[in-house]
Amino acid sequence: MQVHQLDRVDYLSTYEAMQAFTEARSRETSDLAEQQPAGGAPDQLWICEHPPVYTQGLAGKTDHLLNPGDIPVVQTNRGGQVTFHGPGQVVAYPLIDLKRAGYFVKEYVYRIEEAVIHTLTHFGVTGHRVTSAPGIYVRLDDPFSHAALTGPMHPSDPFRGLGKIAALGIKVSRHCTYHGIALNVAMDLEPYSRINPCGYAGLTTTDLSTIGVSVSWQEAADVLGHKLVNYLSP
């Protein structure tokens, strides 16, 4: 997998570049299918951060945008609802040919989440999955506890005691992935209060800095990139 660090880049132009890359490699793979089934463009991983922007998924509802103010809203073709990107967040876009990699979408999502969980472990933090709510969460009262989440979630507040630290949204076109994962490192979290993050009213969003982990964007980007390359390998 080729890894490209793009630094801070405009969201819309990056989204359009992902689409163009995926469309081009889909055509190339189709042309090579008969004589070279494993051919086509190499997989890539783009790592970046974005200026402040809200992005809306295909299932996105406008009532989850409470008060976007002067932050632009971009409609996208990824799954999920509305989320926020901004400085201090590591955004990773795996551009993977799943057919060549040899696994399906459900496992792809699992592998991305595993990469994030192991990135958090590198910094001493325990990440958790929540059933039917893609992304990774931490215990707000003790993010360093190794205890697993146990028992049924509270029916009126399934995220009670948890903060979302990584958001996941993907698109798969002809077996090829784009969009990806965003890990919050040291952000201005206020813009999350202007939306229902990922469509969940009252969901607390946090970052490494808020839970007491002081790490640079570059170090977090390097660790996450390394884990993604490992866990997304065929």
So where are the chain's domains?
A: 2-231
Q: Which CATH superfamily is domain 2-231 in?
A: Bira Bifunctional Protein; Domain 2 (3.30.930.10)
- The pLDDT tens digits for 3-56 are 999 989 999 999 999 999 999 987 765 555 544 445 578 999 999 999 999 999
Q: Which of 18, 37, 47 minimizes the C-alpha distance to 101?
A: 37
**pLDDT given for residue 159 in this prediction:** 86
Q: What is the mean pLDDT of residues 135-163?
A: 84
Catalytic site residue from 47, 182, 198, 223: 198
Return mean pLDDT, the chain.
92
pTM of structure:
0.92
Percent of the chain clearing pLDDT 70 (strictly above): 92
- The pLDDT tens digits for 209-233 are 999 999 999 999 999 999 999 999 9
**pLDDT given for residue 151 in this prediction:** 62
Q: Which amino acid, residue 167?
A: A
**pLDDT given for residue 153 in this prediction:** 61
> Lowest-confidence range among 7-11, 106-110, 148-152?
148-152
Q: What is the mean pLDDT of residues 192-221?
A: 95
Active site annotation includes 198: yes
Q: What is the mean pLDDT of residues 100-107?
A: 96
Strands 176-184 and 73-75: unpaired
